[in-house]
């Protein structure tokens, strides 16, 4: 459930907003519906890896990976799939860490309310 929510909302938000909105979306989603710490990390992580990989390929295929290849050479990795992988992993880590933070924030605030 977290995977689908993060994927869809991030796709819609990134159409108009900057890349870092995935952090806010992951935090809020896992803060509201995250079940465990593992789910709150892996589901947003995988959702953003899939989303960013698909979007990068969608934008890179029409120009025969010209820009991706040049950026890869600039970073010293030589091949465009490597820069695609690095990009997807960085986005996934940002979303995953944010999701765990949202989950633990909810747990901490619920425990604070439960104590007198």
Q: Tell how many helices (H) and how many strands (E) occur in the chain.
A: 5, 0
- Distance between alpha carbon 108 and the CA centroid of its chain, in Å? 23
- By C-alpha distance, which of 48, 37, 58, 40 is closest to 1? 40
55-103 pLDDT, tens digit each = 999 999 999 988 898 999 999 988 999 999 999 999 999 999 999 999 9
Q: What is the pLDDT of residue 12?
A: 96
Which letter does DSSP use for residue 61 in this model? G
| pTM metric for this prediction | 0.90
What are the sequence ranges of the domains in the chain?
2-114
Query: Residue for token digits 């809020």?
Result: 28
- Measured CA to CA, the distance from residue 96 to residue 79 in angstroms comes to 26
CB 52 within 8 A of CB 19: no
Please check the confidence at residue 28 and state whether its pLDDT lies above 80. Answer: yes
């Amino acid at each position: 459930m977290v995977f689908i929510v993060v994927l869809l909302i991030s796709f819609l938000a990134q159409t108009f907003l900057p890349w870092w909105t995935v952090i806010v979306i992951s935090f809020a989603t896992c803060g509201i519906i995250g079940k465990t710490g593992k789910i709150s990390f892996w589901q947003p992580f995988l959702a953003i890896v899939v989303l960013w990989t698909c979007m990068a390929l969608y934008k890179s295929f029409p120009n025969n990976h010209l820009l991706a290849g040049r950026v890869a050479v600039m970073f010293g990795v030589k091949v465009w799939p490597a820069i695609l992988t690095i990009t997807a992993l960085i986005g996934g880590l940002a979303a995953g860490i944010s999701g765990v933070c949202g989950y633990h924030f909810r747990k901490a605030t619920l425990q604070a309310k439960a104590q007198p």
